[in-house]
A and B are shown apart, each in its own frame.
Chain A
Amino acid sequence: MRIQQIFLAAVAVLASAKVSTGAPGGGTVTGKVTYTGTPAKSKPIDMSKEPSCAAQHSTPQMTESAVTGPGNTLEYVVVYISAGAPTESTPPSAPATFDQKGCHYAPHVLAFEVNQELKVVNSDQTSHNIHPLAKINREWNKSQPPGTPPFSEKYDKPEFISVKCNIHPWMHGYFAVLTTSHHAVSDPNGDFKLPDLPPGKYTLTAWHESYGTQTQEVTIAGNETKTVNFVFTAKPY
């Protein structure tokens, strides 16, 4: 009888001590991504070949190989935990949505997880073909005429994939397919935030489509917020 009671008590203790990743109330890493040097100037895109898209832009859409902000900040930098966190076994159920609007990919860089549903939407009055140039994952190419419903795809390996539309050669985007749920893309102010980090020693990786990849180590204990900034070297071309 006594052994049974001790056994039940032990089970109760173990059950309550369940460790979950991403538990609310964990630590946070925030930071800003900036650059030194001179970045290439964004150039206006001529969409006259596609009048239905040109009409949607009161000022021309600018090229996005290096999108900068005041204070030398960099947008569209993917920051994620590349080591120290367990690989996610189940991807989020919500899809990652990639929209084609005004002959422009929104968002320009989409970060999502391995096996997470990628939902591709065509909000334009023209056809687009979605052609992600995957080298590790499978390369596929699908047409999406105007008025057709969104379609879904997924990738089973981590990779940074450049996405193009062959019909509209100025359209460029990226998929960042990651094995971690701890990822963020820097906003127009260069800021990013990775919340809900369990205590541990992590490697943070920052990726920019033109300026390469950088890593930094960060250790989180308890509920603290740590600041990690990245500085990229810009190139004028």
Chain B
Amino acid sequence: MDLTKITKSQIFSVAILAVLALPVVVSAQQGQSHIGKYSGNASTGKELYYRYCWGCHGFRGDGNGENWLPTGSFAYGPYLNIQPRNFVAAAFKCRSTPTGTLPTDEDLYNTLVRGINNSNMPSWITLTAQNRADLIAFIKTFSQRWKTDKAGEPINVPAEPALTLDSIKHGKELFTKLECWKCHGPEGRGDGPSASTLTDSNDQPIRPYNFAAGSRFKCGTTNHDLYKIFMTGLDGTPMPSFADVVKPEEAWDLVHYLRTLQVTHKSPELALWMSTKEGAEYVAAQRIRETPTGSGVQ
């Protein structure tokens, strides 16, 4: 064999190999879902959607289901206070990924399991895990984004550091510096100067979370969930992402402080805070005697 001469077929095969070796853009895989050991299929999910979901989320998946705004000669007005998620727009509140990026399949699955607290989205643990995986695969067919955009990368959440009074104090400084009180109010009661004029991305009025009421957060109940809320933002709402302006380690200090604002919710942070004179006085000054329904639910 004459090694100095390169044949046409050799060039061709090298070219093919070069093309195959090119990095493949991993899209968010419209029509499929993978959560743990479950793989969802959109056509199975479709039947489930039109049985369980479309009443709120709509025939076209745009949140205009008949439970939200009935069709007919005149509208009775919206039955649901918070509009159901518009899957066509595909901006999701409860994510582990940065603002403006798509949630992971697991984020969507967790939302189905948990429901959206303080909204009309119930927990769907009544469905099997496979059902939920199939539903998620189908929901992803409503928006082209799942085909064109890369899936979001979950943010890095460092391990939670030890709870100390210094951490709580530093969290309070952050709360003031980042001006969370503009919407959430100085005691976190949702009565800040901008609270009354807040509108979501559909121009519907919306209220900021009231920490003093102590109810569950929109996207969960744990410190980890709270961390993700302000480090990824709740897309579609006024709640922005603070990921660009808060260091990941500092974010835990803010989590610890925010827990002390939940004066009706028993937490280690609140207990530590109340062991100080300042903390005990603060909580007493809130004058909340009864624990609201649901605040103790984990």
Write the residues of chain A forming the contact surface with B, with a CB cutoff of 8 angstroms. Answer: 49-50, 126-127, 129-131, 133, 135, 138-146, 148, 151, 166-169
Chain B residue contacts of A129, Cβ below 8 A: 238, 240
A202 to chain B, nearest CB (A): 29
The 8 Å CB contact of A148, one of B145, B194, B237, B245, is B245
Are A140 and B241 interface neighbours, CB within 8 A? yes
CB of B101 within 8 Å of the partner chain: yes
For B91, list chain A residues within 8 Å (CB): 138-139
CA of A146 to CA of B149, assembled, Å: 32
Closest Cβ of chain B to A56, distance in Å, is 18
Find chain A residues with CB under 8 A from B240 CB. 129-131, 141-143, 166
Q: Which of B197-218 contact A (CB under 8 A)?
A: 197-199, 201
The CA of A133 and the CA of B203, in the complex, are separated in Å by 11
* A residues in contact with B241, CB < 8 Å: 140-143
B179/A127 in contact, CB under 8 A? yes
Secondary structure at the B interface, as helix, strand, loop or mixed, is loop
- Looking at chain A's contact residues, the main secondary structure is loop
Cβ of A151: which chain B residues have Cβ within 8 Å of it? Answer: 244
Bound together, the chains give a CA A144 to CA B199 distance in angstroms of 19
B271 within 8 A of A: no
Q: Which of B177, B193, B201, B236 contacts A145 (CB 8 A)?
A: B177
**Do the beta carbons of B194 and A168 come within 8 Å of each other?**
yes
- Chain A residues whose CB sits within 8 angstroms of the CB of B98 once the complex forms: 140
Partner of B194, one of A49, A139, A145, A146: A49
Q: Are A143 and B245 in contact (CB under 8 A)?
A: yes
Q: Which of B178, B183, B199, B233 contacts A142 (CB 8 A)?
A: B233
Report B89-120 CB contacts with A as 1/0, cut-off 8 Å. 10100000011110000000000000000000
B147 contacts chain A at the CB level, 8 A cutoff: no
Instruction: Return the CB mask of B181-204 against A: 1 if under 8 Å, else 0.
Output: 011000000000110011101000
The one of B145, B183, B239 that contacts A141, using a Cβ cutoff of 8 Å = B239
* CB–CB B182/A142 < 8 A: no
Pick the contact of B100: A50, A135, A140, A145 (CB < 8 A). A140
Asked if B142 CB lies within 8 Å of chain A CBs, one says no
How far, in angstroms, from A143 to B240 measured CA to CA in the complex?
5
B147 CB to closest chain A CB, in angstroms? 14
A49 vs B179: C-alpha distance when bound (angstroms): 14
Mind listing 6 A-B residue pairs with CB under 8 Å? A138-B101, A139-B201, A143-B245, A144-B244, A145-B178, A145-B179
Size bin of chain B's contact surface = 20 to 34
Complex Cα spacing A160 to B152, Å? 24
* Residue among A49, A139, A142, A148 making CB contact with B236, cutoff 8 Å: A139
A166 to B239, CA, bound (A): 8
Most chain B beta carbons < 10 A, residue from A50, A130, A139, A168: A139
* Whole-angstrom CA separation of A114 from B235 in the bound complex: 22
Q: Is B54 an interface residue (CB 8 A)?
A: no
Contact of B199 with A166 in the complex, beta carbons under 8 Å: yes
User: Does B242 belong to the interface (CB within 8 Å)?
Assistant: yes
Chain B nearest CB from A133 CB (Å) reads 5
Contact of B238 (CB < 8 Å), options: A141, A145, A146: A141
Enumerate chain B residues within 8 angstroms of A135, measured Cβ to Cβ. 89
Asked if A138 and B199 sit within 8 Å, CB to CB, the answer is: no
A148–B244 CB distance below 8 A: yes
Q: Which of A126, A135, A139, A166: most chain B Cβ within 10 A?
A: A166
Is B194 a contact of A142 with CB atoms below 8 Å?
Answer: no
- With CB as the reference atom, state the residue of chain A lying closest to B234: A141
A166 pairs with B238, CB closer than 8 A: yes
